[in-house]
Amino acid sequence: MAIQVGDRIPDVSLSVATPDGPQPTTTGEYFSGKRVALFAVPGAFTPTCSARHLPSYVEKAGELKSKGVDEIACISVNDPFVMSAWGERDGSADITMLADGNGEFADAVGLGMDGEKFGMGKRSQRYSMLVNDGVVEQVNVEAPGEYRASSAEYLLEQL
């Protein structure tokens, strides 16, 4: 079952992509004490993710932060080096790139996806969440092939 509003984020290991290389963290550490706009993509550098999803959060970062969001994070089932390269190319200093390299977080929140028929293996569904001190305030999961409910614009409407 997918994570729901009011649920606590499960504690799993992640890597934060930084200019100094991958920094290990856990979701318990990362989400503690702050309000985070989290969005998940099926893959870094993929068409919708690069052309629309990440850019929507880069463009709306100031508005999200003005409405009480402390941090904005993009998560994908990619390694931290790929997430770092994608962040450098298409992201901004306002977006933290989180690597869920083994898909543990995607599975733990019940939002994993089988991308095998696209040659992508295990991935994450496209979604957004608003997480406050580790507790889910909003969760917006896209229907397969869609892009709307997980956009920065949609999350802004919920704030």
Please give the residue range of the domain that contains residue 67.
Answer: 7-157
Q: What angle do CA 146, 151, 152 make, to 5 degrees?
A: 175
The per-residue pLDDT for range 112-127, each reduced to its tens digit, is 877 667 766 687 899 9
Residue 2 forms part of a structural domain: no
CATH code at position 146: 3.40.30.10
The reply to whether 131 falls in a domain is: yes
Global confidence as pTM: 0.92
74 is catalytic: no
**Number of domains observed in the structure of the chain:** 1
**pLDDT at residue 141 greater than cutoff 90:** yes
Q: Yes or no: say if 53 and 41 are a contact pair by the CB < 8 Å rule.
A: yes
Segment 99-119 shows an average pLDDT of 86
**What are the tens digits of pLDDT across the range 10-60?**
999 999 988 888 999 999 999 999 999 999 998 888 777 677 789 999 999
Give 89's pLDDT tier (boundaries 50, 70, 90).
confident
In a domain, 153, yes or no: yes
Q: Is residue 110 part of a domain?
A: yes
* Active-site residue (options: 37, 41, 49, 72): 49
E strand segments, 77-121: 95-99, 112-114
In a domain, 97, yes or no: yes
